[in-house]
Amino acid sequence: MLVVVRERDYVKVADLADQFAISEVTVRSDLEALAARGDVRRIRGGAIATNMPRRERPFEESESEFAAEKIAIGRAAAGLVRDGDTVILDVGTTTAAVARALAARADLRDVVVFTNSLTIAMQLEAVIPRFSVVVTGGTLRPLQHSLVDPLGDGVLDRIHADMIFIGCNGVDAVAGITNINLPEAEMKRRMMGAASRRIVVADGSKVGQVELARLCAVTEIDLLMTGPSADGPALAALAERGMRIEVVDA
């Protein structure tokens, strides 16, 4: 069972029960034993591997995981935007969910969106001219369809946005907000510096995780919007650090 968890990074109890032709009760018991050894971390409905080096995954591969949480977070985040706001949307599958939710809000007018994500830019193309969409420019990273250095910061030092929605791979009380790759982490930091309000949008699997590149401390974030699969003790530790948290029901 551990081999399957490591191969997929994230597994559901129901899927393991089907694959091994055993009961979900047995799967839960086995996962609890693996968690006690530190090989996996239990989350609601399944488990993720904890002791394997993480690889950066293609956007399309990550998009389907925790999809319901991402959709719910996207809708809640989009609800924070008002007419006339200037918004920065960072690269990520959850920020892409925010973009889709923004596009679905027929009541919004005169919103300006800056992004370094080609995916997000294309999602918002249909709502032009109700929205203005500005792509930062830079060098294309095909894995995430993102624009980074060189020339990735061409507009960021000339704007001031009302808010930024930040995607990430890790949210930890001590390590702070972290990301799995360095080029995008640098862009994220620059984008954060151009916004008044910083909002991290991350499904529950990211909470309690620590990745390679540090973006900032949790005290530098105004709000974390996450899902119900987030680890309870990890959320409590974040709250103790003074982080404002909204858990959005999927």
pLDDT, position 191 = 94
pLDDT, position 142 = 81
pLDDT in tens, 16-49: 888 888 999 998 888 888 888 777 878 778 887 7
Q: Which residue has the tokens 């918004």?
A: 87
| Number of residues written out for the chain | 250
- The yes/no answer on whether domain 2-49 falls in CATH 1.10.10 is yes
Q: Which two tokens stand for residue 33?
A: 């034993």
Question: Looking at the domain covering 59-247, what would its CATH class be?
Answer: alpha beta
- Nearest-angstrom CA–CA distance, 99 and 166: 12
SS3 at position 238: helix
| pLDDT for residue 242 is more than 90 | yes
| pLDDT for residue 58 is more than 90 | no
pLDDT in tens, 69-113: 999 999 999 999 999 999 999 999 999 999 999 999 999 999 999
Cβ-proximal residues to 191 (8 Å cutoff; 6+ apart), any chain: 88, 90, 114, 116, 156, 164, 166
Nearest Cα neighbor of 88 from 79, 98, 103 is: 98
SS3 at position 124: helix
- Bigger pLDDT: 156 vs 225: 225
The DSSP string of 72-119 is HHHHHHHTT--TT-EEEE-SSHHHHHHHHHHHH-TT--SEEEEESBHH
Parallel, antiparallel, or unpaired: how do β-strands 111-115 and 131-135 relate? parallel
Whether 2-49 shares its CATH topology with 59-247 is answered no
- Reported as a pLDDT band with limits 50, 70 and 90, residue 54 is low
Q: Which two tokens stand for residue 10?
A: 């994230």
pLDDT, position 45 = 82
| pLDDT for residue 115 is more than 90 | yes
Look up residue 82 and give its amino acid.
R
Q: Where are the domains of the chain?
A: 2-49, 59-247
pLDDT, position 95 = 97
pLDDT in tens, 165-223: 999 999 999 999 999 888 889 899 999 999 999 999 999 999 999 988 999 999 999 99
- Reported as a pLDDT band with limits 50, 70 and 90, residue 51 is low
